[in-house]
Structure 1
Amino acid sequence: MIEFHAPAADAPELALSPLHRAAMLTLQHLVETGPIGLTPNYAMKRYFVTWAAEAFQWPGYLPEDLYAINKVLNEHDFPPLYALHDLLLSAKLVRRRKGHLHITKFGKDLLAHPGSLWIALAQHLLLASGHDDMLDVEWVSVLSAVNVEAHEGVSQTDFCRRLMGVEEGDYHLRSLIYVHVLRPLCWLGLLHDAGESRSERFFTKTALWPVALTFEDQPPLPPVTRH
């Protein structure tokens, strides 16, 4: 059995989650500045995307990274913001009304309780989001496997082979596992991508992992030796 736990509101481990930080900043912006304007296609308007890129400081999507390939930023040019927008809607933390994005009462409540906000984000990102038809994710099994495989660190290649039986040359399935399994866990702050390049991804569990997750049906894992 796996249990999710809400970290304490002042838990320093929450800072390891770029998704949690971005959600907090977005909800605070809605409270302090007001509704966010939307385009006719329901995307966040450029002024907010520009602000978010600077405010979030999202690893791998820093402003200099984004502007290196875009002269101006639209929501789809900033993938984490695009995902966050959908996540906030699905978790009912925000709603669309009259061409703007508004914070809900539930969103205001969770803004005051950061640990509970992290739980809501985790549940909707991992359990309520859709997946590619070729990748059926059973999160109980996946998280149990990650708990063991990433205890001392695991490469993407080894993880894909051990968990899904995916060979190194099957780039499509490797990409799906990264997008739907490994990247969400990194965005939640549960895993850290210590690889030096996209072709050499190496994942380790973060300090947030034992704070937020317990595995009652697994024996205790040995202490991790760091060199």
Structure 2
Amino acid sequence: MTLALRYANETGGIGLTQSGAFNRKFVHWAAEHFEWPDFTATELFEMNKVLDEYKMPPLFPVHGLLRHLKLLRRYKGKLVATKKGREMAEASDVFFDLTAPVYLYRFIHDERIEARGGPLGNWDIFLNVINVEARVGCTLAHLLKTLYGWEEKDRYDPEHSDMRFALKFCVLQPLCWLGLLWEDREGLRIWDDGTFYKTPLWHAALKLETDGQAALRLV
């Protein structure tokens, strides 16, 4: 998100379409510079000749949060950086502390999933469980079993599918997009789930009740 702020500051603003979405010029720039997991420029342009904001889902929270936090404001068909936004663009640690809690705890990550009740549990549970289970890497299937008791053989149960998608798109994906987790997908097909690992930022940003357990290693 700091890249978007710097872009707005250095270029005089982010252009908007008539509907208020980021224009293609910025979306193409973002695809080439942001390097979002699963949304790199190579992957995006393999399927699209041109990119609009709706074809690059990671831009939804960027757009929403920068406006919500009053870091960008609309002016003459563009989003320009506010004074607060210009300050935040040069203070990435302060910017992370401001945006990360809002994004994780208050942002609607998927409207359809949230309309059905969202993931079963809360962020205190999710973060502490992942803190322990991802100490040497864990899969989505492993977390489903740990949190809810679901086995892989249950994957054809509609409730299992609902929980799987909720956990993936409302918990794991936001953590990956914030840089707290990364998913190893080497050698996997597009519909396969990878293995999730904690990043150095996880340890720097989070202080959790299970930190002592997370430090344990299996012998």
Identify the TM-score tier after normalising by the shorter chain: 0.7 to 0.9
Partner of 1:152: 136
Contact residue 36 and residue 101 of structure 1 kept, 8 A: yes
Partner of 1:211: 204
What pairs up with 1:152-171 in 2 under 5 angstroms?
A: 152-168=136-152, 169=155, 170-171=160-161
Partner of 1:191: 181
Change (3 A) 1:84 1:225: farther
Change (3 A) 1:78 1:217: closer
Letter in 2 for 1:187: W
Partner of 2:64: 86
User: Among residues 2, 12, 34, which one is paired with 2:12 in the alignment?
Assistant: 34
Partner of 1:200: 193
Contact residue 90 and residue 124 of structure 1 kept, 8 A: no
Partner of 2:127: 143
The answer on 1:182 being equivalent to 2:172 is: yes
Question: Could you say what the CA RMSD is over the residues aligned between the two structures, in angstroms?
Answer: 2.1
After the TM superposition, list the runs of 4 or more consecutive aligned residues in structure 1 that deviate by more than 6 angstroms: none
Deviation at 1:164, TM superposition (A): 3.6
Q: Secondary structure at the match of 2:192?
A: helix
- Comparing 152-161 with 131-140, greater Cα deviation is found at 131-140
Partner of 1:76: 54
Q: Secondary structure at the match of 1:150?
A: helix
Structure 2: tracts of 5 or more residues without a match: none
Letter in 2 for 1:159: L
- Comparing 211-220 with 77-86, greater Cα deviation is found at 211-220
Change (3 A) 1:42 1:34: same
The answer on 1:107 being equivalent to 2:90 is: no
Contact residue 37 and residue 44 of structure 1 kept, 8 A: yes
Q: Secondary structure at the match of 2:79?
A: strand
CA distance in 2, matches of 1:160, 1:200: 12
Structure 1: tracts of 5 or more residues without a match: 1-22
Letter in 1 for 2:67: L
Contact residue 37 and residue 177 of structure 2 kept, 8 A: no
CA distance in 1, matches of 2:100, 2:85: 15
CA distance in 2, matches of 1:225, 1:218: 15
Identity %: 37
Deviation at 1:61, TM superposition (A): 1.4
Letter in 1 for 2:118: L
Higher relative contact order (CA 8 A, sep 6+): 1
Contact residue 38 and residue 101 of structure 1 kept, 8 A: yes
- Comparing 175-184 with 92-101, greater Cα deviation is found at 92-101
Change (3 A) 1:49 1:163: same
CA distance in 2, matches of 1:188, 1:129: 13
- Comparing 125-134 with 175-184, greater Cα deviation is found at 125-134
Deviation at 1:87, TM superposition (A): 2.1
TM value normalised by structure 1? 0.81
